[in-house]
A and B are shown apart, each in its own frame.
Chain A
Amino acid sequence: MLIKPPIDIPPSEITDPDLFARRRHFIRGTAAGLLAGGFGLPALAAAAPQRGEKLPDIRKSQWTVDEKPTPYESVTTYNNFYEFGPDKDDPAKNAHRLKSRPWTITVEGEVKRPQTFAIEDVLKWAPLEERIYRFRCVEGWSMVVPWIGFSFSEIARRVEITGNAKYVEFVSLADAEQMPYVRVPLLDWPYVEGLRLDEAMHPLTLLAVGLYGEVMPKQNGAPLRLIVPWKYGFKSAKAIVKIRFVRDMPRSSWMKSAPQEYGFYSNVNPEVPHPRWSQAQERRLGEFLKRKTLPFNGYAEQVAALYAGMDLRRNY
């Protein structure tokens, strides 16, 4: 007769499987960190990125540029995501604390049917497309990213936007338990961004749920983020929990923080410098010399008409 000993380990003692799976990562990271710390080589501490879960049934999209995508490692280790820290490598280090499931997105404001959607349902709204977009940061660097998602306009059919809606406001998660730097007043949390309704409804405006064929890495804005490829990167809110259709122009977190530097539109424009630096050139990650920045980040043909008759120097 086989006698099984009783299981006397309380559940609280059992290591979280997620944490267990990361043990090598942790050991490697710590060992490298100790080694690096001794020699002043902090970059050594960064371990190789873990790849995410594959997304099924991805279609090719017409909205794709024919440029070489920036390597996955760069896309996932060089991020501005201030809820996880002010340095470029902070999000990759800290974003594992984000719980991207379960996740809901509340859509409200000037809509006939305000609703809260589960992320699983949002994923089924439309076929997933791979769109290779240029991504230009206001700081003067750029990348090319194969995002996965579908046009934001898919949302309109589900909530019936009223005629009063003129703008869309995007609100990101701000939970200090998961996002350590939300305790630090770097910006006015939660992170808020906004678009004019016609900008939001433009087919290029992407609700992104992944990149490189995989579920969105947490440091890149999991589980759901916006991508507006003709605007500076900060316009593309990450980890969205609320989408509000509103009458008045939303005041974004950056507009509150430095209104003379960050305007509502923030279209990529080589002619309009940032008050403290030029925007005429950019450094594409992986390249050593700078390249010229294109008007509307190279999407002028598709989006310039949205701004016909507007003074883009004043509406920066």
Chain B
Amino acid sequence: MNNRQIVLLKCAVFAASLAPAASLVWRAAHDRLGANPVETLMHATGDWTFNFLLLTLAITPLRTITGQHWLVRLRRMLGLFAFFYGLLHFLTFAGFDHAFDPGAIMHDVAKRPFVAAGFVAFVLMIPLAATSFNAAVRRLGGRRWQELHRSVYAIGIIACVHYFWLVKITAIQWPLLYAAILAALLGWRARERMRKYQPPGVPRAAPPTVQPIRFIRR
């Protein structure tokens, strides 16, 4: 893919990623959010946070398996959309459940384990979103940046816990499905790591076949 195609693709992905939010706005304006609009907003924003989280985590395996290295250039945007929907999810909770009263919000976080899990996952996303731009990567240095951004694995797991703790037994299939996809994405990484692991002292058999790609233009 050339640069021009990537830019076009990014525009398309951006527009598509905004569609769920646009749909909610449209439904809200036309009184189509159902009998319990707050619940509809809560569920939709939560679902899309998780969807984007999984999409973000799917980029590296997809890229490695298919050899389509340009995919990594979509990753930041998908991650930021996960944060965007997570923020909407948090604002729905903070605004409609607690009228933005910080005391009431913290009380709820302390009292309900599933709220605590969701809150922790959201808070952990903030530094990742805040260090998503190029200057932050340069400033932190690639390795430290990468280490920080590995916390996305923990965020995924905490999000699963959040989901399992909030559903009734009759809806358990949904957190199970999300947990299975997350397990596959994290399991693939664990396997890769084991495969690439070289015991110290043993010389490498062959030079690395995957060329590192520069996605920050200087």
Q: How close is A214's CB to chain B, nearest CB, in angstroms? A: 18
Q: Report the bound CA distance from A112 to B27 in whole Å.
A: 57
Given known A-B contacts A40-B23, A82-B170, A88-B35, A288 and B165 have beta carbons under 8 A apart: no
Give the dominant DSSP class at A's interface. Answer: loop
Residues of B within 8 A of A186 (CB): 169-170
B111, closest chain A residue (CB) = A278
A289, closest chain B residue (CB) = B99
Of listed A41, A89, A257, A286, residue having the most chain B CB within 10 A: A41
Residues of A within 8 A of B20 (CB): 40
Mark B residues whose CB is within 8 Å of A: 19-20, 23, 26-27, 32-40, 96-97, 99, 108, 111-114, 165-166, 168-171
Asked if B36 contacts A141 (CB within 8 A), the reply is: yes
Q: Report the bound CA distance from A163 to B165 in whole Å.
A: 44
Task: Count how many chain A residues have C-beta atoms less than 8 Å from C-beta atoms of the other chain.
Answer: 31
Given known A-B contacts A86-B171, A187-B170, A276-B113, A285 and B36 have beta carbons under 8 A apart: yes
Interface CB pairs A-B, < 8 A, 6: A41-B32, A78-B36, A88-B35, A139-B168, A257-B169, A290-B97
Apart from A278-B111, A288-B38, 14 more pairs, CB < 8 Å: A39-B19, A40-B20, A78-B34, A78-B35, A89-B34, A139-B168, A273-B111, A276-B112, A276-B113, A277-B166, A283-B36, A288-B96, A290-B96, A290-B97
Asked if A285 contacts B35 (CB within 8 A), the reply is: yes
Q: Report the bound CA distance from A88 to B171 in whole Å.
A: 11
Asked if A41 contacts B36 (CB within 8 A), the reply is: no
Given known A-B contacts A43-B27, A186-B169, A73 and B35 have beta carbons under 8 A apart: yes
Cβ of A122 under 8 Å from chain B = no
Asked if B34 contacts A88 (CB within 8 A), the reply is: yes
- The 7 closest A-B CB pairs, nearest first, are A78-B35, A74-B35, A186-B170, A43-B32, A86-B170, A285-B35, A40-B23
Of listed A44, A141, A276, residue having the most chain B CB within 10 A: A276
Interface residues of A in 270-296 (CB under 8 A from B): 273, 276-278, 283, 285-286, 288-290
